[in-house]
Amino acid sequence: MTTHDASATIAQLFIHPIKSCAAVAVDEAVLTPTGLQYDRHWMVTKPDGQFITQRSHALMALIVPSIQNGHLIINAPNMPPLALSLVATGELKTAQVWKSTVSAFDMGDLAAEWFSLFLGEPLRLMRFNADQPRLCSQEWTGEHTATTEFADGYPLLITTSSAVDELNQKLTTQGHNEVDQRRFRPNIVLADLPAHDEDLIDELHLDSESPIVIKNVKPCERCPIPSIDPDTAVYQPEAVGDTLQTYRHDTRLNGAITFGMNAIVIEGAEQIVRVGQTVGVNYAF
């Protein structure tokens, strides 16, 4: 029988179908080599293909996607729902996400008009083209070759529920409102571990009939997005951002503020991960 350093439980699962739009909480999801199925599978870009996020367009927080009956359904305040087939493709164009230039399917003029109207400038909606894999940085994945879709750089983001509990304790002490995991845009939230133990984890072994192994590879450096209220799109750096500055400097990234760990899929692609699943944890000190 395989033993592990500790045991945890999956407390929450999230997918973010459209990069930088609202999170979708799910009870289960298919694990793929590029992360949870449909996570960051679509992306909003400028007409030249340059991606945009809440960093410059905070109102993206109010765009709420969902997966229903073979369609991506998109809602936003004072907008009619937009429905796109999950298998719809379009003209292949060039898209840019950070340093990666990829080919992506343009989802057409109707989608473009929807996003342009809500966000107030000409925009396009792109879908990831799985025929052109996007490699993760081997500076952090080492001997493993990993790919991702439109995520910032890695297939999965892992956090702990206790880390947000710790942050909320600090926030309420200062008179601020509590926040939830959506601020940090994770895929897998672990319970039954001390706050930020994800920083120390090497591998996660999910309890399943066939092996599922996930490896933490890189601390997640934090931008202004955690300071954006996901319910109002209001930017409030004096709460979350300033509080993280007091205790989350990470020497592995030259003192950058980090929260959560980027992870890759080692084994178990195409299996189901579920809320409540037991996870064996191996540490790397």
Confidence of residue 243 (pLDDT cuts 50, 70, 90): very high
C-alpha distances (whole Å) from 282 to each of 39, 197, 203 are: 26, 11, 5
Residues 192-196 have a mean pLDDT of 98
- Distance (Å, rounded) from C-alpha 266 to C-alpha 268? 7
Which residues, 6 or more positions from 271, have their beta carbon under 8 angstroms from its beta carbon? 30, 31, 208, 210, 212
Domain 6-283 has CATH 3.40.190.10: no
DSSP string spanning 82-117? EEEETT----EEEEEETTEEEEEEE--HHHHHHHHH
Rounded to a whole number of angstroms, the distance between the first and last alpha carbons of the chain is 23
- pLDDT score, position 264: 98
- Distance (Å, rounded) from C-alpha 65 to C-alpha 26? 12
- pLDDT score, position 261: 98
- pLDDT score, position 41: 98
The mean pLDDT value of the chain amounts to: 96
- Distance (Å, rounded) from C-alpha 39 to C-alpha 32? 10
Measured at the alpha carbon of residue 268, what is the angle toward residues 264 and 270, in degrees to the nearest 5? 100
Residue 8 DSSP SS3? strand
Question: For residue 203, is pLDDT > 60?
Answer: yes
| 185 closest CA partner among 127, 130, 240 | 240
Residues 102-117 have a mean pLDDT of 97
| 36 closest CA partner among 194, 168, 149 | 149
Question: For residue 189, is pLDDT > 70?
Answer: yes
Cα-to-chain-centroid distance, residue 109: 27
- pLDDT score, position 181: 98
- pLDDT score, position 254: 95
Question: For residue 1, is pLDDT > 80?
Answer: no
Confidence of residue 45 (pLDDT cuts 50, 70, 90): very high
Q: What's the whole-model pTM score? A: 0.97
Question: For residue 247, is pLDDT > 70?
Answer: yes
Count of CB atoms situated within 10 Å of the CB of 70: 9
pLDDT digits (tens, 9 = 90+) for 120-155: 999 999 999 999 999 999 999 999 999 999 999 999
- Distance (Å, rounded) from C-alpha 258 to C-alpha 237? 15
Phi-psi region at 254: left, alpha or beta (left = phi > 0; alpha = psi -120 to 50): left
Residues 255-274 have a mean pLDDT of 97
- pLDDT score, position 2: 73
- pLDDT score, position 209: 85
Confidence of residue 219 (pLDDT cuts 50, 70, 90): very high
Residues 238-242 have a mean pLDDT of 94
Percent of the chain with pLDDT over 90: 98
pLDDT digits (tens, 9 = 90+) for 68-94: 999 999 999 999 999 999 999 999 999
- pLDDT score, position 110: 98
Residues pairing with 74 in the sheet: 65, 82
Confidence of residue 285 (pLDDT cuts 50, 70, 90): confident
